[in-house]
Amino acid sequence: MADQANRPKRRRRMHGIATWGPGLLLISPSIVLVGIFVYGLIGQNFQLALSDKHTAIQPETFIGLDNFKDLLTEDRFQHALTNLLIYTVAFLIGTMFFGMLWAILLERGIRGEGIFRSIYLFPMAISFVSAGVVWRWLLNGAQGEEAAGLNRLFQSLGPGGLQNSWWDTPNWGMVAIAMPAMWQLSGYMMALFLAGFRSIPDELREAARMDGASEFQLYRHVLFPQLSPVALSALIIAGHMSLKVFDIIYVIARNTYQVEVPATYMWQVQTFDQAKAATIASVLLIVVAVLIVPYLVYNHRTEKNR
C-alpha cells in the first residue's frame, strides 16, 4: 500500500527531470566549453593583467591595479585611444550615412533592387585581411612619379591636388584608414535599415500621404522614428566592431606609431611584456562591455515587456 501511495509522487519527480534533464545534457558541452575557453580565459587574462609578469618566462606576482594606472597615464596609450576614437567616429558616421542613403534609395522600389542590394552587400563577403591588402596599395602615400593607387588615379584623371599621404597624415590619417572599413560594412548597415523600412506597414505611409505629408515629412516624422530600434542595433554592432579593430590597420600599416590603436599596441608588446598586453586586452574588453552590456540589458527588458 505504501508503495502505491509513493508511486505517483516519484513519477512526478521523474517527470521533472525528464523535462529539463535532456535539455541540460544537450547544452552542457557548450556550457562547459564556453565556461573554460571564454570566461575561464578572460579570468586568466585579468589575473595576468594584475601581475608583474613583464618578461616572457617569469613567475607572476600580484601587484593590484599598477599596470592599469601605468597604462592609462602613458602618452603612447592615450595616443592609441585617441586614434581609436577618431577611427570609431569616422567609421560610425560613414557607415550609418551610406547605409541609410542606400537603404532609402533601394526602399523606394527601384528596378533591379536585388542586383544593387548584392552589389552593396558584397564587400562584406571579403575578409578584412584580403581587402586590407588591396587598400594598402590604394592608400599608398607616394605622390608624383612614384604615385600608386588612389593618388595615381587623381593624377591621371585630374584633380592632382587631391593627392595626399592618406593614413600617414597626423590625426586625419585615422579617417583615411577608416575608409576601407566603411566600404566593407556600409552594405551591411544598408541591409539592416532596409529590413527596418520593410517592417513598417504600408498603411502608415498611406495614412501619412492622405494627411498631406510631403516626402520629407513622411521620412522625418513617420518612418525614421520607427527605425530607431534598428538604428540602435546598427550602432552597437558597428561600434563594437570598430572598437576592436585590428586586422585592417595591421595589414595596411603594420605597427606604425601613426595609426596605432589599442589592439595593434597589444599585438606589438605581447611577445615581450605579457602583463602589459593583458592589461590592454582588459581595457579593450571593459570599453566594449561598457557599450554592449547596457544594450543587452535594454534588449532583455523590452523583450520581456513584449
Which residues would be at the binding site for other proteins (CB under 8 A)? Answer: 18, 21-23, 25-26, 28-29, 33, 54-58, 76, 79, 136, 139-146, 165-168, 170, 253-258, 260, 268-273
Shortest Cβ distance from residue 139 to other proteins (Å)?
A: 7
Shortest Cβ distance from residue 221 to other proteins (Å)?
A: 47
The CA distance from 58 to 147, in Å, is: 48
Burial 58-73 (b: 16+ CB within 10 A, else e): eeeeeeeeebbeebee
Cβ–Cβ under 8 Å, residues 123 and 181: no
Shortest Cβ distance from residue 146 to other proteins (Å)?
A: 7
The CA distance from 225 to 216, in Å, is: 13
Shortest Cβ distance from residue 276 to other proteins (Å)?
A: 9
- Given the complex with other proteins, which of 122 and 257 has the nearer CB atom? 257
The CA distance from 9 to 190, in Å, is: 57
The CA distance from 61 to 54, in Å, is: 10
Shortest Cβ distance from residue 289 to other proteins (Å)?
A: 27
How would you class 235 by CB atoms within 10 Å of its CB: exposed for 0-12, middle for 13-18, buried for 19 or more?
A: middle
- Given the complex with other proteins, which of 88 and 274 has the nearer CB atom? 274
- Given the complex with other proteins, which of 96 and 275 has the nearer CB atom? 275
- Given the complex with other proteins, which of 1 and 26 has the nearer CB atom? 26
The CA distance from 254 to 222, in Å, is: 46
- Given the complex with other proteins, which of 19 and 156 has the nearer CB atom? 19
Cβ–Cβ under 8 Å, residues 84 and 261: yes
Shortest Cβ distance from residue 141 to other proteins (Å)?
A: 4
- Given the complex with other proteins, which of 66 and 146 has the nearer CB atom? 146
